[in-house]
Amino acid sequence: MSKKTATKTPSQSASYQYDAIIIGTGPGGEGAAMNLSKSNRKVAVIERQKDVGGGCVHWGTIPSKALRHSVSRLIEYKSNPLFRFSERPQRLTFQDILHHASNVISKQSSLRSSFYDRNRIHLYQGDATFVDAHTIRVQHHDGSQELLTAQTIVIATGSRPYRPPGVDFAHPRVYDSDTILDLTHNPQRVLVYGAGVIGCEYASIFKGLGAKVDLINTRDRLLSFMDDEISDALSYHFWNSGIVIRHNEEFAKVETLDTGVVLHLQSGKKVKADCILWANGRTGNTDSLNLDAIGLKADSRGQLKVNEHYQTEIDNVYAVGDVIGYPSLASAAFDQGRIAAHAIVHGKCDDRLITDIPTGIYTIPEMSSVGKTEQQLTAAKIPYEVGRAQFKHLARSQITGTEVGSLKLLFHAESKEILGIHCFGERASEIIHIGQAIMEQKGKGNNVEYFVNTTFNYPTMAEAYRVAALNGLNRLCD
């Protein structure tokens, strides 16, 4: 990537107010700010919202997972035989479970705010725009403005839901993944357009609350980046729970009514619902930064290109998190911020984001994976074997009543090196990290036989690794 060196005026070359300014306080911005501060750099952060945490804390990761947890517990309660003969519980509404989510959001935001205070990082609230490569204008909420200067700028502004033209998002029955938290009525039928991670998670939530759900998928299968067996398991579970999945569909228009919406599809179908959740794509938050002032351009999705150190085409401007696109995960954004900070301080950085980034999808039940899928290994002609453990055979699953799901280990048929781990079921996002820890070991430390030779607490979900390892090793040809 060719570099553009920022032109310095005499006043800029003399001194700056800060060593670094971070725009945005989501995971990426927090990771960069904290690590720069701990390296004795004078740091300022700019946040346009009244509280820190970014979309992760206020509209995305934390709220949706808190909602999911409440609904999942409700489903467990209803299915628990201990309560079958008791009075039927009052049906919970979306607003009921939002109360729990609001408490978690408040706690997370308060905690993250204390990090900035503790590390003596200056927080400015307002909208940030570039004046030049070292100067940021902050438009405060009261209308006042001030200029801040720094040697380095880090863009960590995140992303927002994509809103296609022609869809009236001002209508009270049309939502995206940000505004769905403002839902005030109790929909009996929900239409989710977009069957990616966000769409599938919210389809689970609304179905768990008892609503009828239509899930519109623009592709031919759910979550095609996952291992086929795992995505098929989710599809079957959705189908079995009553979610209607419509594959290979594209919208033509959204007709809004006083009491609902009608989605017109290009195939000629019409789907009516009380409300629609638009969950099809995201856009980087770069359009209001005045990037033209520094000669930096975002792509058509509002995203910025960076090198392995998260440095943009402007040598003192970095970018991390959703604003740079893939993998668009809160977990990865923290690490991107840390790596960028290290590169800023030392001029270079040997650290890299790990190759095998774990994926956690918080549907009901959860899905999680790390490493290669069966399809990738087959295409690469790598000899592998499969070990499986069905949750319904585990004592812990039987005790907790969470018997839906399985763990799948993929390992090299000769070296027994673990190549991929895939899990579907309750607590999958936690279970996956046991295997990840072994998979990341160097040399002979990465070996499926570890799970046979170690001793697990009993009964636990971790025991699934021993069961799966034995199942796979028994398949090997002598």
pLDDT tens-digit series, residues 410-434: 999 999 999 999 999 999 999 999 9
pLDDT at 9: 37
Does 1 score more than 60 pLDDT?
Answer: no
pLDDT at 302: 97
pLDDT (mean) for 147-153: 98
Give CA separation, 14 vs 8, 11, 149, 315, 434, in Å.
Answer: 9, 5, 11, 18, 52
The more confident residue out of 243 and 13 is 243
pLDDT at 8: 41
- Distance between CA atoms of residues 313 and 419, nearest Å: 35
pLDDT at 250: 97
Does 49 score more than 50 pLDDT?
Answer: yes
The closest alpha carbon to 45, from 36, 54, 33, belongs to 33
Sign of CA dihedral 9, 15, 16, 19: positive
Q: Residues of the chain with pLDDT > 90: what percent? A: 87
pLDDT per residue as tens digits for the range 257-313: 999 999 999 999 999 999 999 999 999 999 999 999 999 999 999 999 999 999 999
Write the secondary structure of 157-219 as one string of H (helix), E (strand) and C (coil): CCEEECCCCCCCCCCCCEEECCHHHHCCCCCCEEEEECCCHHHHHHHHHHHHCCCEEEEECCC
pLDDT at 93: 84
pLDDT per residue as tens digits for the range 343-355: 999 987 777 888 8
29: its two tokens: 């911005």
pLDDT at 13: 41
Does 11 score more than 50 pLDDT?
Answer: no
pLDDT (mean) for 348-363: 88
pLDDT per residue as tens digits for the range 244-257: 999 999 999 999 99
Does 5 score more than 80 pLDDT?
Answer: no
For residue 18, name the pLDDT band (cuts at 50, 70, 90). very high
Name residue 190's beta-bridge partners.
213, 275
pLDDT per residue as tens digits for the range 389-399: 999 999 999 99
The letter for the amino acid at 114 is: S
Q: Residues of the chain with pLDDT > 70: what percent? A: 95
pLDDT at 85: 56
Poorest-confidence range of 65-74, 130-139, 296-305, 426-435?
Answer: 65-74
3-state helix, strand, coil in the chain (%, to 5): 35, 25, 40
pLDDT per residue as tens digits for the range 204-236: 999 999 999 999 999 999 999 999 999 999 999
Average pLDDT, the chain: 93
pLDDT (mean) for 456-464: 96
pLDDT per residue as tens digits for the range 86-101: 555 567 788 888 888 8
359: its two tokens: 């994926």
